[in-house]
Amino acid sequence: MGSPTATEPEWTPELDELGKAFRRVFRSLNRLRGRDTHLGGTELSHAQFELLIELYDRGELPAGELAAAARLTPATVTQMLEHLAACGHVERARSDTDRRVVVSRLTRQGRRKIEAKRAAWQDRWERALEGMKPSELRAATRVLERLSVVFEDPPAGGSCPEPPRGEQAKTARNPLL
């Protein structure tokens, strides 16, 4: 087998390990979301928490903007907001600037819930990354930013490409799959 061409990257062991690590993180996130189906009535799901974070960070928002920010359908967000309002985490009211628009905003209880959950996650985050050098964190940030683009845009063509065959499979495979 010859050397890789400009369009055929050379898969190094480090790239393969990065792919495996990314898969482990991705699976952990999926398990986190999967646990949402077993939550008690007062616990927040990951998706509900994401909605509340948007309201915490951006202030009051109409359901449509909140849906776009959270990448959920407006119908899903409306249903979630009704539940969050019933639990006392958000309140819904007419906008002060346009009475036709209904906005959602955090209540004190919702704000406290976000702050407590963020503090708990911040502690876990800092412990997990303890001992990492700033240069390593910057490199990890660059890698994650680049990878996020891969998952934002679906592959062109809409169908699965043919899998590589023979010896090419070793160097042309996607380590994430």
What average pLDDT does the segment 158-162 reach? 57
Residues 174, 164: Cα–Cα separation, whole Å: 10
- Rounded to 5 degrees, φ, ψ at 101 are -100, 135
- Residues 104 and 61 sit within 8 Å (Cβ to Cβ): yes
For a pLDDT cut of 70, what percent of the chain falls above it? 75
Between 11-15, 118-122, 130-134, 140-144, the lowest mean confidence (pLDDT) is in: 11-15
The pLDDT value recorded for residue 29 is: 78
Residues in the chain: 177
Which domains are present in the chain? 42-148 (1.10.10.10)
Cα–Cα distance measured from residue 146 to residue 113, given in angstroms and rounded to the nearest whole number:
32
User: Rounded to whole angstroms, how far apart are CA atoms 32 and 159?
Assistant: 29
Indicate yes or no: pTM above 0.75: no
C-alpha 78/C-alpha 63 separation (Å) is 6
pLDDT tens track for 16-69: 888 888 888 888 877 776 665 555 556 788 888 889 999 999 999 999 999 998
Asked if pLDDT for residue 152 goes beyond 70, the answer is yes
